[in-house]
Amino acid sequence: MVVKCFQALFLISVLCFGVVSYSLPLSTFNRWILDSSSRVVVKLACTNWASHMEPMLAEGLHKKPLKDVVAKVVQLKFNCVRLTWATYMFTRYYGNIVSQTFDNLNLAQAKQGIAQNNPTILNMTHVQAFEAVVDELGRQGLMVVLDNHVSNPKWCCSDGDGNGFFGDDDFDYSEWEQGLIIVVGISIRNELRGRHQTEDDWYKNIPKGAQVVHAVNPDVLVIVSGLNYAIDLSFLKKHGLGTNFDDKLVFESHWYSWGVQAGTCFDNTNVVYNHSLFLMDGGDEVHQQFPLFLSEFGYDQRDKASSDSYMNCFLTAAYKYDFSWSLWALQGSYYRRDSQLDYEEVFGVLNADWDTIRNPEFIEALQGYI
């Protein structure tokens, strides 16, 4: 495959297509992400937007025009989007047309909605459509984190879905590396997990993947996650990642209520600290501070009890440690998930029709941390 490389928007994201660049180089210093020119601290306050499912298209384009969805993100005061992608979209389905894929998946109603709201998308390849989304995000002034969520386009995540760790059915190192070369400047893999995961193989493969990204474009940040569904980076206390680009390195972690169940908020925060937040403090164990990006957190926004407990705990830690973060999720629904059409995402900021905010009180509270 011939790949045309170009910088696509901001500091974190570089695609290989060839559109207008919205790049603003970022670097890191100790626990902070900085604007490389001004040395001003940049905090990522993102929302996740899924684009890694079987239709291989950013969700919701059958409900609203692309520019309107992006404008809503801006209105909600997020400054970036963590846009998910699947390796195979770039390595196996590069030339596939959106319209044909929706036909193959029997998504006639969703296709009709896209024809009404985003007609030009249907005749694009999936890669061109992905580029169009990135381009619009940049046009409206948003940063983008390109997240390699899975290899095989599907819902994530479980131990047995074939996408969890090197050696799984859909996680070949060489093809993963090929995807990293095509799509550069990213969160290099989401939620490593499963029976094949080991610290030794993490140290064997993750630094190589990070180096691949840095070699293709040394200006972008490289975002690295740990083990056990991106919860655990504690093994870095033993020895570091071993890169030569520490001023471009950001670590990421996830924090959901079911991933940390230690009792009180104080107990939960201590668990998260020991697994990942310690990187921001450095100290004798790691000898250096690093920025930490809590790239997924969220809850069922119909459940106010969860908001009062889990979310209050998360936001207290966000205030104390001042880390970057990305809320799961923007999308109010999926074209198809678990064989169900127009599946509602109850963690979504937007409702199932993508026209109103699901929980305005929560969003108002979250905006205080942006």
The CATH number that applies at residue 249 is 3.20.20.80
In a domain, 9, yes or no: no
Torsion of CA 359, 362, 368, 370, to 10 degrees: -70
Contact 295, 221 (CB under 8 A): no
In a domain, 17, yes or no: no
| pLDDT tens track for 113-160 | 999 999 999 999 999 999 999 999 999 999 999 999 999 999 999 999
Residue 262: pLDDT band by 50, 70, 90 thresholds?
Answer: confident
In a domain, 11, yes or no: no
Q: How many structural domains compose the chain?
A: 1
Residue 243: pLDDT band by 50, 70, 90 thresholds?
Answer: confident
Contact 311, 299 (CB under 8 A): yes
The interaxial angle of helices 199-216 and 173-182, nearest 10 deg, is 30
Contact 166, 194 (CB under 8 A): no
Task: Tell me the pTM.
Answer: 0.93
The letter for the amino acid at 271 is V
Closest CA to 8 of 216, 291, 280: 216
| pLDDT tens track for 324-339 | 999 999 999 999 999 9
Residue-level pLDDT at 370: 79
CA angle 34, 35, 37 (to 5 degrees): 130
- The span from the CA of 163 to the CA of 334, in Å, is 20
In a domain, 262, yes or no: yes
- The span from the CA of 19 to the CA of 33, in Å, is 26
- The span from the CA of 353 to the CA of 328, in Å, is 17
Q: Is 167 left (phi over 0), alpha (psi -120 to 50) or beta?
A: left
Domain extent for 237: 26-369
Among residues of the chain, what percentage have pLDDT more than 90? 79
- The span from the CA of 188 to the CA of 215, in Å, is 14
In a domain, 21, yes or no: no
Q: In the chain, what is the straight-line distance between the N-terminal and C-terminal CA atoms, in Å?
A: 41
In a domain, 14, yes or no: no
In a domain, 18, yes or no: no
- The span from the CA of 223 to the CA of 189, in Å, is 9
User: Is the alpha carbon torsion for 32, 34, 36, 40 positive or negative?
Assistant: negative
CA 336 to chain centre: 20
In a domain, 20, yes or no: no
Residue 305: pLDDT band by 50, 70, 90 thresholds?
Answer: low
The letter for the amino acid at 106 is N
